[in-house]
Amino acid sequence: MGAQAKQRISVSAVLLSLGVLLANIVVNGLIFLFFRDSTLNPLVTAVLAVLWGVLGVYLIYYTLTWAVERYPAHIRRRVLPYVFVGPAVLILGWLLVLPALRTLYLSFFNASSEKFVGLSNYAAIFNDRLLATALRNNLLWVFVGTLACVALGLLIAILADRSSYEKIAKAIIFMPMAISFVAAGVIWKFVYYYQPGDEQIGLLNAIVTYFGGEPQAWTSMIQPWNNFFLIIILIWMQTGFAMVIFSAAIKGVPEDILEAARVDGAGEIKIFFSIIVPFISTTILTVTTTIIVFTLKIFDVVMVMTGGQYDTEVVATQFYRQFFMYRNFGYGSTLAIVLLIAVLPVIFINLRQFRKQGGF
């Protein structure tokens, strides 16, 4: 009888959980349809949508947790973790996995997504001159941008760690991280701004003309150096990110090891390369792969600064142009898949590194 009662409780708990889950889906679905078809004032709609987002998430977790509490203790311990992880996994699947699969599906069709063309879009990539330029520029972003961000971030972290103005210096270097890539592009567009004539409002050209030089159209006429002028924006933004992570890792280096090396007569440069760098090597790898992902997906800065013109095209801007401007859905989807394939190995290295550090 005890086993049968226990089984009945488990079955009823499962049915209750399914009922609560279904109720959440129906209620939130109806609310979504209401907002989609609403004719309310946009400001009122925005406020209600924010309230729905906050209260909706709370109610989902509260009702699911309440349902799981009806389970026997030995089942509850196993089910409860999935209650907290499940909604996040479902949302990620909906927003990331399904679009990726749909993009892969579209890449096998023609421009209008009506005729199956197999691998023709992938074959066309190797004959596309613009894509060759985009791939070359992406490699520049990856190697130059990543190397500069990591090197400068590590150098500043070491120097700031030994300075009495550490907090102020780090705050100034990290400040660009507070703005978006689009905002950074707008700021640097004024820095590089060029206009014919003697009067220059662009900061860089103003400095050049002040010292007797000739103003230049830095992001358009000077090729291929204009790509490096764009990469400087990435360095300006991401060096602060690298610095903060490296600074935290450097502070974790045991002080007794450093003191022992100094007692043995090792100089600061030798200590840096022989002790500090090996000790924080996993952090260096993590920061490097993270910035590589940023550079492979770079889009905002190029689009704001040049729109991909003047040989500054990257894969993401080429994808945007093909998919949204030329309405070539098949080829545009193929470019997105190529970009995904380029990013996946870097993400895999990052995940493996997290696993070694006990992150999973």
Q: For 280-301, how does the pLDDT look when each residue is reduced to its tens digit (9 = 90+)?
A: 888 898 899 889 988 988 898 9
What pLDDT shows up at residue 357? 65
Shared domain for 83 and 156, answered yes or no, is no
Q: Where are the alpha helices (DSSP H) in 252-328?
A: 255-263, 268-271, 277-279, 281-296, 300-305, 315-320
- Percent of the chain at pLDDT above 90? 15
DSSP state of 323: I
Shared domain for 99 and 144, answered yes or no, is no
Dist. CA 163–CA 144, nearest whole Å: 28
The whole-number average pLDDT for the span 144-153 is: 94
What pLDDT shows up at residue 1? 44
Number of domains, the chain: 2
| Close Cβ partners of 350 (under 8 Å, ≥ 6 residues apart) | 286, 289, 290, 293
Shared domain for 262 and 290, answered yes or no, is yes
pLDDT greater than 80 at residue 274: yes
Does 300 fall in a domain? yes
pTM exceeds 0.85, yes or no: no
Shared domain for 267 and 131, answered yes or no, is yes
Q: For 168-180, how does the pLDDT look when each residue is reduced to its tens digit (9 = 90+)?
A: 888 888 899 888 8
- Percent of the chain at pLDDT above 70? 95
**Which residue among 107, 136, 160 closes a domain?**
107
Read off the pLDDT band of 242 (50, 70, 90): very high
Residue bearing the bigger pLDDT, 351 or 205: 205
pLDDT greater than 60 at residue 46: yes
What pLDDT shows up at residue 238? 92
What pLDDT shows up at residue 151? 94
What pLDDT shows up at residue 126? 79
Q: For 101-117, how does the pLDDT look when each residue is reduced to its tens digit (9 = 90+)?
A: 999 999 999 888 888 98
Q: For 56-65, how does the pLDDT look when each residue is reduced to its tens digit (9 = 90+)?
A: 888 888 888 8
**Whole-number average pLDDT of the chain:** 85
The whole-number average pLDDT for the span 141-161 is: 91
Q: Could you write out the DSSP letters of every residue in 229-266?
A: HHHHHHHHHHHHHHHHHHHHHHHTS-HHHHHHHHHTT-
What pLDDT shows up at residue 76? 78
What pLDDT shows up at residue 9? 55
Domain that holds residue 161: 124-357
User: What phi-psi label fits residue 311: left (phi over 0), alpha (psi between -120 and 50 degrees) or beta?
Assistant: left
Cis peptide before 224 (omega within 30 of 0): yes
pLDDT greater than 50 at residue 2: no
Cβ atoms < 10 Å from Cβ of 290: 18
Shared domain for 318 and 182, answered yes or no, is yes
Backbone angles phi, psi at 267, to 5 degrees: -80, 170
pLDDT greater than 70 at residue 49: yes
pLDDT greater than 60 at residue 5: no
Does 39 fall in a domain? yes
Place of tokens 């023709």: 120
Residue-wise over 77-109: b if at least 16 C-beta within 10 A, else e? eebeeebeeebeeeeeeeeeeeeeeebeebbbb
CATH number at residue 225: 1.10.3720.10
What pLDDT shows up at residue 296? 87
Shared domain for 139 and 247, answered yes or no, is yes
pLDDT greater than 70 at residue 358: no
pLDDT greater than 90 at residue 265: no
| Close Cβ partners of 36 (under 8 Å, ≥ 6 residues apart) | none
